[in-house]
Amino acid sequence: MNKPILIAGPCAAESLQQVDRTAEQLNNELKDSNLHLDYFRAGVWKPRSRPDAFAGAGESALPWLCDIQKRYHIPVCVEVLNAQQVELCEKHDIHAIWVGARTAVNPTDVQKIADAVRNKPFTVMVKNPLVPDLKLWAGDIERFLCADVANVMAIHRGFTDKGENIYRNAPCWEIPIDLKVLFPELPILCDPSHLCGHTQWIPQIAQIALNYGFNGLMLECHCNPEQALSDADQQLTPAQWADLIRQLSFKSDQPNHDLIIQRALLDNIDTQLSELLAKRMQVVDEIAKIKKQHNLPVVQPQQWQHVMKRYLKSNQDAQYQDFINKFLELLHQSSINRQK
């Protein structure tokens, strides 16, 4: 892999002091080290799910970020939701923007942003839309390529998934990989912060992305994550960011590369299995309380037969079924013991 593209900064621009301290701490990590930072990110206009959620400091934050850009000689990138915000960024000498997952689901909004940056010296990063739709993501990217934007990148931040998933968003790795096939020269970065939703899973997701040949990482950093006004659980401190970058392997051409990818995926699956089993036992505890309240028996054979059929119907492999039978026997006995 060539030199990776690294982006870091807070989820949202909260105050002058917050963005300044975060930038200063990141810059201190870069001094006297082989680390680098290509962009300092900050959400100025944040589309939030709840009306009372913090949505960034708005236009007032742009001068703060412009000053950081000049002082540390690191380009700043911000999320834009419409053409008017593109004009405000240009006014404050910020020429790197990203299109967020919520905006990316609306081709009309994306086209208006593409028209606003047409033939201008902007770097545009396009996050995947919330829905797992390769054609929609590819279409968003094509709008900026057709607008003659010289520097376009894609950012994989995971997809909304109604199924049980320990991450904030489902990785659906096949979609960014297929995107790479469609646009082989297009840099694709991973945003483990939004994909994971919690810092504890960021290292393994970041490494899987790098093993797949992603060109870099966008990570959220905050000078004091515990006091962050948005997405506190998924933000690293600048020191944690630096430690993570040092620990990751950015070599995608190492021996046994295919084996490394599969082992990374296996680690990913095992982590989810462990968390889901823990969640299952929490549900078992709640069921025990309900049974006790209504004087119901702990063991209910018909219900357990229903569980077994659900596990076994998905695979007809004899060895798999033998394993599942043994696994379910242990699971059932453990659940009974907890309920007793």
Q: What is the separation of C-alpha 49 from the centre of its chain, rounded to a whole number of angstroms?
A: 17
In which band, very low, low, confident or very high, does the pLDDT at 314 lie, cut at 50, 70 and 90? low
SS3 state at 148: coil
pLDDT score recorded for residue 255: 60
What's the CATH fold of domain 5-247? TIM Barrel (3.20.20)
**Contacts for 153 with CB less than 8 Å, ≥ 6 apart:** 5, 123, 124, 125, 126, 186, 187, 188, 189, 215
Determine the average pLDDT of the residues in 80-99.
98
Share of residues in the chain with pLDDT > 90 (%): 64
Nearest to 217, CA basis, from 190, 193, 238, 236 = 190
Q: What tens digit of pLDDT does each residue of 17-71 get?
A: 999 999 999 999 999 889 999 999 999 998 888 888 898 999 999 999 999 999 9
Q: What tens digit of pLDDT does each residue of 214-270 get?
A: 999 999 999 999 999 999 999 999 999 999 999 998 876 656 667 766 776 777 677
Identity of residue 298: V
> Higher confidence at residue 273 or residue 125?
125
Determine the average pLDDT of the residues in 159-179.
86
In which band, very low, low, confident or very high, does the pLDDT at 316 lie, cut at 50, 70 and 90? low
- The answer as to CATH 1.20.59.10 being correct for domain 257-339 is yes
**Average pLDDT across the chain, whole number:** 90
pTM: 0.81
Query: What's the Cα-to-Cα distance from 311 to each of 306, 307, 314, 321, rounded to whole Å?
Result: 9, 7, 6, 9
Domain with CATH 1.20.59.10 in the chain: 257-339
